[in-house]
Amino acid sequence: MGSNLMGVSTNAYLYYGIDIFDREEDIALPDKIFEGLTEEEQDDFDLDEYLEEALIPFFGLEYGTHGSEDSLVHYIAAKEYCALRGYPEEVDDLGVKPEWDKQLKAFCEATGFEFKKPGWRLASYWG
């Protein structure tokens, strides 16, 4: 059995967190994110940079995407595992630490993203 697909990346993600955007085309950033920014800073705003470098480390969370390049789902996670094709990832504990929900909720309150019930999610990335 073989596949004719070449150059396709398939990653699996297991994370405890919430999706902040369901699909790339649905992105509508909360106004709260732009508070205190000049018009020029708003025009140059980069969501990935903001989350990865400025905000997520402050809350002790991780930021990632799953889905496909054409239809990304953005998420924040208190714990994340990633398995690359051909490289299984050992999952040592699926327990939930009490502070995780508080961290996720604090992030949402600070940014204006809707807080949804966190949980373990298994997702893939194809691209």
Asked whether the predicted pLDDT for residue 27 surpasses 90, the reply is: no
Phi, psi torsion values for 25, nearest 5 degrees: -75, -15
Q: What is the pLDDT of residue 81?
A: 92
Burial of 11 by CB count in 10 Å (0-12 exposed, 13-18 middle, 19+ buried)? middle
Residues in contact with 55: Cβ distance below 8 Å, sequence separation at least 6, in sequence order: 107, 110, 111
pTM score over 0.85: no
Asked whether the predicted pLDDT for residue 24 surpasses 60, the reply is: no
Terminal-residue alpha carbon distance, the chain? 21
Asked whether the predicted pLDDT for residue 102 surpasses 80, the reply is: yes
User: Out of 19-28, 53-62, 63-72, 89-98, which region has the weakest mean confidence (pLDDT)?
Assistant: 19-28
Asked whether the predicted pLDDT for residue 26 surpasses 60, the reply is: no
User: Among all chains, which residue has been given the structure tokens 């902040």?
Assistant: 20
Residues in contact with 101: Cβ distance below 8 Å, sequence separation at least 6, in sequence order: 118
CB 120 within 8 A of CB 101: no
DSSP E strands, the chain? 10-21, 62-68, 71-84, 119-126
pLDDT by residue (tens digit) across 81-99? 989 888 888 888 889 999 9
User: Among all chains, which residue has been given the structure tokens 């799953």?
Assistant: 66
Q: What is the pLDDT of residue 78?
A: 96
Amino acid type, 21: F
